[in-house]
Amino acid sequence: MSIQTNRRDFLSFLGKGIVGAALLPQLITGCNASRKAQVTEIMHSLKALDPSAEDALQFAEGFNFDMLIRWDDPISNTDRFGFNNDFTAFIPMSEGNSEEGILWVNHEYVDPKFVSGYTEDTIDNKTKEQVEKEMYNVGGSLMRVKKNASGKWEVVQNDPLNRRLNGFTDIPFNWPEPIMGKTSGMGTLGNCSGGVTPWGTILTCEENYDMFYGERKEDGEMVYAGSYDVGWHKYYDNPPEHYGWVVEVNPKTGEAQKHIALGRCAHECATIKELEDGRLVVYTGDDANDECFYKFIGSKAGSLSEGTLYVANVEAGRWESLDYESQAILKENFESQTDVLIHVRKASKLVGGTPLDRPEDIEIDPITGNVLVALTNNKPKGNYFGSIMKLEEKDGKYDALSFEADTYLAGGEETGFACPDNMAFDTIGNLWFTSDMSGSEMHKPPYEAFQNNSLFVVPRTGPQAGQVIRVATAPTDAELTGPFFSPDGKTLFLSVQHPGEKSPSLKELKSHWPEGGTAIPRPSVVTVTGKALEQIQGLG
């Protein structure tokens, strides 16, 4: 793939297809759908924020933010908001409603010293009570949110819709065969990014599952994620094959199911496109060095279980089938389609899937219809800054089996960002994205120039079109995640994840955000509003 970093090339990428507005594709109901994008010439300019190392959530001029909810805040008389919030999704209470809705928030993983008070270097002395407290703090939260009389967003306390999914929730497998002898799994965990279906349910993705129940090697040996082994398997010996799936959640009932047909890996997100005949296409990435980018093409309208999973062969511009019956090499190495899907990483390499640089979030450009993939980095291969890949399906058809791919925006000091992660398009198709530099490597070579993690926007039109503009910086050690717009584009829901995660101990805290003083840091969700947010979308 060619790496093109200059502004002219990126403008060409963003602007391709703008002429002929009547032919613009409908904006998908994916990770960040709001309404059909319209091409609007923006006359206003944003004042970019300088990089910062401060322990504060800072926004550029014209942006405001309000705290919506923090870790351990109550959402009902029985449930509390979980830890390390990531992906957010706003489901309006009625079509187009930007005043009230259901907010889903992922809870990816735990930091034991904060959640359960366990501070030892090994898991040897962790108690069952501590494990269970940690298990409660993963999964996701569902909350009814609305604007109050003063126009501020708030959680409607004790609403019947408020509930938690966690490490104990029984979740059925959407598959005709049992997985490791079971038809359901205990809990959901590692929930990173996600998506929204055309029918208004949530897709939440299980990413780094091996820190919880490990992974089984081909010889049967169990391995765990090194220092991230949280030790739950000491008391709950669940099979790792029950995790690493895309999980669908009904926001009105809390009912959930794990979609086996989408494969098992460190899923970052699931971006869904409904075809004219009702069949579904789902894009998802495997967030690990040298792992792959996948596409599921449904064979029956509305089904996420009947269809074929493909892996991207980027060099050849081809989607390679992971269908057991049609691939002789899969029959030689696996026992069944179920076996292929459980071990999809191995299967993808056998059929020619391209190892990529940590494919994370995926979005479909509402103007061009192109697929964007955030490739965060691949440090062992010398790619420290990452890039955003553009994929054009043949003839613009999402069920096509061939494509063209290029990297049109590469991270680095020239472009002002490193390690792109979550992305979102606003109501007129401006690209927003966050960065994910590791807390252990921020402020060290080669990341010194970028300071803390940030939120960026790339305007589509106007005097700053094609420029990467920093509009927010995160507190110490934190990353900004899960950007999601309300239907009218006037509110951006945003997670502040793992502030102070590299604190040596509770007595040596690196962050005190958001409460300040000597308080322990608390992952939180904020609502972002303001004149600048509206002006860049031509709303004011």
Residues 312-348: tens digit of each pLDDT = 999 999 999 999 999 999 999 999 999 999 999 999 9
Segment 280-285 mean pLDDT: 98
Please report the pLDDT score of residue 73 as a whole number.
98
Residue 376 φ then ψ, to 5°: -70, -50
Evaluate the omega torsion of the peptide bond into residue 514 and state whether it is cis, within 30 degrees of 0: yes
Mean pLDDT within 462-474: 96
Output the pLDDT for position 218: 87
Tens of pLDDT, residue by residue over 375-393, are 999 999 999 999 999 999 9
In this predicted structure, the answer to whether residue 203 has a pLDDT above a threshold of 50 is: yes
pLDDT band for position 6 (cuts 50, 70, 90): very low
Give the mean model confidence (pLDDT) for residues 101-116.
Answer: 97
Which is nearest to 294 in space by CA: 365, 354, 209, 205? 354
Q: Could you give the CA distance from residue 124 to residue 226 in angstroms, rounded to a whole number?
A: 14
User: For the chain, what is the mean pLDDT?
Assistant: 92
Give tens-digit pLDDT for 28-76.
Answer: 333 454 445 666 777 778 999 999 999 999 999 999 999 999 999 999 9
Q: How far apart are CA 88 and CA 155, in angstroms?
A: 14
pLDDT over 70 for what percent of the chain?
A: 92
Tell me: pLDDT of 15 over 80: no
Residue 328: the pLDDT is 98
Residue, of 126 and 29, whose pLDDT is higher: 126
pLDDT at 2 over 60: no
Count of residues for the chain? 540
Structure confidence by residue, pLDDT tens digits, 232-264? 999 999 999 999 999 999 999 999 999 999 999
Confidence of residue 219 (pLDDT cuts 50, 70, 90): confident
What is the set of domains in the chain, with CATH numbers? Answer: 7-535 (2.120.10.30)
Please state the pTM of the whole predicted model.
0.93
Looking at residue 311, its pLDDT comes to 98
Rounded Cα distance, 39 and 30, in Å:
20
| Interval 474-488: pLDDT, tens | 999 999 999 999 999
Report the C-alpha gap between 230 and 116 in whole angstroms. 11
Of 17 and 149, more confident: 149
Q: How many CB atoms lie within 10 A of CB 146?
A: 16
Give residue 9's pLDDT: 45
Among 364, 359, 367, residue whose Cα is nearest residue 459: 367
Decide if pLDDT at 86 tops 50: yes
Which pLDDT belongs to residue 466? 94
The answer, yes or no, to whether residue 491 has pLDDT greater than 80, is yes
Say whether pLDDT at 216 is over 60: yes
